Copies of this chain bind each other. A is one copy, B any other.
Amino acid sequence: MDKMVYNFSAGPAMLPVEVMQQAQAEFRDFNGLGVSVMELSHRGADYMAVAAQAEQDLRDLLQVPDNYKVLFLQGGGRGQFAAVALNLMGKNAKADYIVTGQWSQSAVAEAEKVGQVRVLDGFETTGNGPRALADRWDLDPTAAYVHYCPNETVEGIEYHFVPDTGEVPLIADMSSTILSRPIDVSKFGLIYAGAQKNIGPSGLAVVIVREDLLQQACPHTPAIMDYAAMAKADSMLNTPPTYAWYLAGLVFKWLKREGGLEAMGERNKAKAELLYNYVDASDFYSNNVHPQARSWMNIPFQLKDDALNDAFLKEAKAEGLLALKGHRIVGGMRASLYNAMPIEGVQALVAFMDRFAKQHG
């Protein structure tokens, strides 16, 4: 490759360069075995060691308490929308869902197939921001759980606080939040995440679940979605997505070498501030999300004239700045700044945006 490329895809997203170098080097000969990791039986000692190490490193990074199980599953975040409801709705089959955008709305649709869902409005781009909104929720103390999505990838909305749900277990879709900063796992009943943003390639989902929540699955829960059965089988009730799990393990090792989640949190905050500060100071670009609800991970921004969007994308691509097109629901642009995106990528983006604005402003 002649020049550096920065990939701002919202997911599947870029992976750390060092991880990809290692994976390429050992692609066809893992640990001197003469075969690829993806050609190993998941029941053999060589692969079992890979899987166990990945789990341990994830536990270390997130300081997962001992009374939580960590599962490596298939089906992505959308699979967990169904699995969460099937596993946790319990006998009275009702739950509260805070809706902040596209992803939490999609979670509601899956939960409604299982039981009664009450929707609480969590999306406010004007007014006093999400904390003030949260104070007005009338949470049901008899609900099986409260579900929310701390970071909405499409709209670029993020909760920079953890809602207080009292004794009711809090469930979080952390697909685009996990590993981006320290998280107090003990505040949650269950955390889940599709891997293809901050963990690894697509095709893998991670679930972190408090053990006392594991004994109430609906009888018709498909085996691959049954958290208790999966926990008992160390996530190998069926053949897991072995290569994605291995790559996730390489990412966890990389995170440890880079200083862990404290360091990631500082970096991610700095990256986001660099871009937001530039956008806010500009007459050419804008971001309309409430300042208290702005995402560190996914930053949508609009050009002052939509007719310039195509030129922006074309010129950005020519400079090695890829996948900046916004989600069709929001339009405009979106820069996703997950852990693997270095500050240099954001600097290159801002420099390009500035040149483009001067040219077309």
Instruction: Kindly provide the distance from the CB of A324 to the nearest chain B CB, expressed in whole angstroms.
Output: 11
Contact of A38 among B15, B33, B39, B76 (CB under 8 A): B15
* Interface residue? A21 (CB, 8 A): yes
Question: Quick check: A12 and B34 within 8 Å, CB to CB?
Answer: no
A interface secondary structure, majority: loop
In angstroms, Cα B41 to Cα A196, docked, is 10
Q: Which residues of B contact A12 (CB under 8 A)?
A: 38-42, 239, 242
Contact of A76 among B7, B20, B74, B323 (CB under 8 A): B74
Question: Quick check: A41 and B10 within 8 Å, CB to CB?
Answer: yes
Q: Which residues of B contact A33 (CB under 8 A)?
A: 5, 322
Contact of A24 among B10, B27, B222 (CB under 8 A): B27
Chain A, residues 84-126, CB within 8 Å of chain B (1/0): the string is: 0010000000000000000000000110011000000000000
Q: Give the residue among A29, A36, A44, A110 with the most B Cβ atoms within 10 A.
A: A36
Q: Which residues of B contact A223 (CB under 8 A)?
A: 78, 81-82, 109-110
Q: Which residues of B contact A34 (CB under 8 A)?
A: 1, 3, 5, 320, 322
* Interface residue? A249 (CB, 8 A): no
Category for how many chain A residues contact B? 35 or more
Contact residues, A4-54 vs B (CB, 8 A): 5, 7, 9-15, 20-21, 23-24, 27-29, 33-36, 38-42, 44
In angstroms, Cα B98 to Cα A7, docked, is 50
In angstroms, Cα B23 to Cα A79, docked, is 28
In angstroms, Cα B201 to Cα A264, docked, is 31
Nearest to A41 among chain B residues (CB) is: B9
Q: Which residues of B contact A1 (CB under 8 A)?
A: 28-29, 34
Q: Which residues of B contact A9 (CB under 8 A)?
A: 39-41, 44
Q: Which residues of B contact A221 (CB under 8 A)?
A: 113
Question: Quick check: B76 and A113 within 8 Å, CB to CB?
Answer: no
Q: Which residues of B contact A82 (CB under 8 A)?
A: 222-224
Question: Quick check: A23 and B27 within 8 Å, CB to CB?
Answer: yes
